Homo-oligomer: A and B are copies of this chain.
Amino acid sequence: MNGQKHSRIDVPDSSHPERVTITNVSPQLNDGRYPIKRIIGDEVKVSANIFADGHEVLAAVLLHRTDRQTLWNEVPMTTLENDRWEASFRVSSIGEHVYTVQAWIDPFRTWRRDMIKRVEAGEHASVDLLIGTNLIAWAAERALGAESKELRTHADSVRANADRDLGYAAEQALDGRVAQLMDRYPDRRLGSTYDKPLRVVVDREKARFSSWYEMFPRSCSPKPGRHGTFRDCVARLPYVAEMGFDVLYLPPIHPIGCVHRKGKNNGTVAAPDDPGSPWAIGSRDGGHKSILRELGTIEDFRALVHATRQQGMEVALDIAFQCAPDHPYVREHPEWFHIRPDGTVQYAENPPKKYEDIVPFNFDTERWRELWAELKDIVLFWIGHGVRIFRVDNPHTKPFPFWEWLIAEIKRDYPDVLFLAEAFTRPKVMYELAKRGFSQSYTYFAWRNTPWELTEYFTELTQTEVNEFFRPNLWPNTPDILTENLQLGGRPAFMARAVLAGTLGASYGIYGPAFELCENHPIYPGSEEYLDSEKYQLRNWDITRPDSLKDWIARINRARRENPCLQSDAGLKFHSIDNDNFIAYSKSTEDRSSLVVVVVNLNPYQKHNGWVTLPLETLGLSEHQPYQMHDLLSDARYIWQGSRNYVELDPAAAPAHIFRIRRHVRSEQDFDYFE
């Protein structure tokens, strides 16, 4: 790459105190404790405060390498104002990369700057010329091969000419070619290296841009009352793929405990044919590495993984590190659980609530090393069967160091594996888990409803340091979350929330078919739990219903695929609109080649209209030229002009526009086109 070279870091003579200070290196998280995140091909733009005492000229390089390389790549840094320096590098492989900054007081650059001034002032500076010549001669000793020879020849020639024609000799010493060569072999003895290597975890593109569909295999049977199988799932794949999803997320597929099994609607007593909760993992049939007999065999699972790939999608498995009381681990490894003074195993509880069908692991056990190794082995087992994405249940009830270790261990050998962290109501803990290694995280999107809440929250997620480590995955619903907004707002609310999720977030997901079928009955008023939840019983969904949102969702996903600006969380800007029922925002790529404006009527009950104001210059639009707003949802096209334009949205028909802006292009024949 241009301007790069390879080197080991020159350690400055440690007997000298460091004159150069390098601070506030950015980006970095918690003083380098945690890595930032990037996607393969991304640029990492690094800046730092670099300064020294005195008035000498400094030089600085950005050093970067993968964690498997020993040699650094160097990129020269350039100065911005007020002692701030900057350079960037591109991450061209997945896995961990390391970067840091090195700077030094450059004797030759200092000499050259001063010598130019002396020459300009017409000074007779023979001693100064000698000093410079010595610097060139010393560099010749550091240099290699032909360049060493070239420097030596140059120094000799300057020396030879100095007595006869000082002016000519000075010109020789100040020659641009010499400066270039000297920059290749700088004297870094008066240098410093930033005191910690900073890390960046580079993922494949799906870590940034993904569209998830959560589906209970148990309910995929075409026959009501029959337990769904992996083969039924295979048959359902085209339906999911046609909607445009690329991740198929399955709740746990393992044997379900019989002891204290929950009945329908979370009843404490299960009827004989109640299937229980898939998260109550383990029975005499096996545990986290086994498959629930009703779903099929491991071969059926592999066939599903394969068929999913063939449809352009991937299977994501649920990781729930907890057990049913009859999980084999409880019998084989009682030391991994909390044993109470009466000899019983402690079940999960949040006093006075009890979850008798679940026993948590005791991560404080003295045998934590064996426990950790086994949990890692579970992940490796499913990787061995083709899974590369894991959705992690309740990550916040396991120690942070465990996740940091597990994810690093897995990604060291399988850097393409992605982990999605479930959410809970502790924002700092959510961020901590992301810093410790989760590739994506659920968010509080489901509970952000007003324009103010959405603007506030997504500004924090996308326009602050959070953007360096936290990749939001937006879910309007999950099997645990049927929001009041969806319960009350019905179909228009589902439509609006799907547009918000799919355009505010580069990654989003829905729990279907509940979502596209607008399932919105809570178990009781005020609860976010579904009535007749699939968590505790089989459901039969009529995916052919005419009121299904599957076409609406397919249009959203198509807009996402065809517009790169929707594939990244950066480039989000909120715009003002003079009616509080609306939210308006745009997303654009850095080069503005992809640009989308979204307007949503957040009121599911009433038609509204208003005037949206767009910052034309920021969006690369002209005040005087009309531009075309192509609604990717309805396919309608509107001609807008200037910054203020009218919108009207009737939620009963469609509560949102996803406008692709087509700029006005005048052709040679003076016909009007929109690109």
Write the residues of chain A forming the contact surface with B, with a CB cutoff of 8 angstroms: 16-19, 21, 23-24, 30-31, 49, 51-55, 82-83, 114-115, 117-118, 120-121, 123, 127, 130-131, 134, 190, 340-342, 344, 350-352, 363-364, 368, 396-402, 405, 426-429, 432
Contacts and interface: CB of A to CB of B under 8 A. Distances in A.
B53 A397 contact: yes
B351 A399 contact: no
Q: Which of A31, A52, A397 has the most CB of B within 10 A?
A: A31
Given A127-B340, A341-B130, A352-B121, A364 B18 contact: no
Contacts of A24: 30
A55 B350 contact: yes
A400 B192 CA distance: 13
A16 B19 CA distance: 41
Closest 3 interchain pairs by CB? A17-B401, A121-B352, A31-B31
Given A118-B352, A127-B344, 8 more contacts: A17-B368, A17-B405, A18-B399, A18-B400, A53-B396, A53-B398, A54-B396, A120-B352
Contact of A428 (B49, B190, B428): B49
Nearest to A33: B23
Contacts of A350: 55
A397 B351 contact: no
Q: A-side binding surface: helix, strand, loop or mixed?
A: mixed
B400 A131 contact: no
A400 B123 contact: no
B53 A21 contact: no
Contacts of A17: 368, 399, 401-402, 405
17 contacts: A16-B364, A16-B368, A21-B432, A49-B428, A51-B426, A52-B399, A52-B400, A55-B350, A82-B428, A83-B428, A115-B351, A118-B351, A121-B351, A123-B352, A127-B344, A130-B341, A190-B364
Given A127-B341, A342-B127, A352 B117 contact: yes
Nearest to A342: B127
B16 A114 contact: no
Contacts of A118: 351-352
Nearest to A405: B17
A364 to B, nearest CB: 6
Contact of A82 (B51, B117, B427): B427
Given A131-B341, A351-B114, A399-B53, A23 B19 contact: no
Which one of A120, A340, A352, A426 has the greatest number of beta carbons of chain B within 10 Å? A352
Integer count of this chain's copies in the complex: 2
A193 B402 CA distance: 18
Given A23-B30, A428-B83, A401 B55 contact: no
A143 B382 CA distance: 49
A118 B351 CA distance: 6
Nearest to A49: B428
Given A54-B397, A400-B21, A340 B131 contact: yes
Nearest to A196: B31
A351 B134 CA distance: 20
Contacts of A83: 426, 428-429
Contacts of A344: 127
A17 B399 CA distance: 8
Among A16, A19, A190, A399, find the residue whose CB has the most chain B CB atoms closer than 10 A: A399
Contacts of A114: 351
Query: Which of A117, A118, A364, A426 neighbours the largest number of chain B CB atoms within 10 Å of its CB?
Result: A364
A397 B114 CA distance: 17
Contacts of A55: 350, 397
Contacts of A18: 399-401
A401 B398 CA distance: 44
A443 to B, nearest CB: 16
Contacts of A115: 351
Contacts of A352: 117-118, 120-121, 123
A120 B427 CA distance: 30
A432 to B, nearest CB: 6
Nearest to A365: B16
Given A121-B352, A130-B341, A427-B82, A399 B51 contact: no
A399 B117 contact: no
Contacts of A21: 400, 432
Contacts of A123: 352
Contact of A19 (B31, B120, B400, B428): B400
A231 B115 CA distance: 49
A432 B24 CA distance: 12
A402 B31 CA distance: 25
A429 B398 contact: no
Contacts of A49: 428
Contacts of A341: 127, 130-131, 134
A364 B55 CA distance: 14
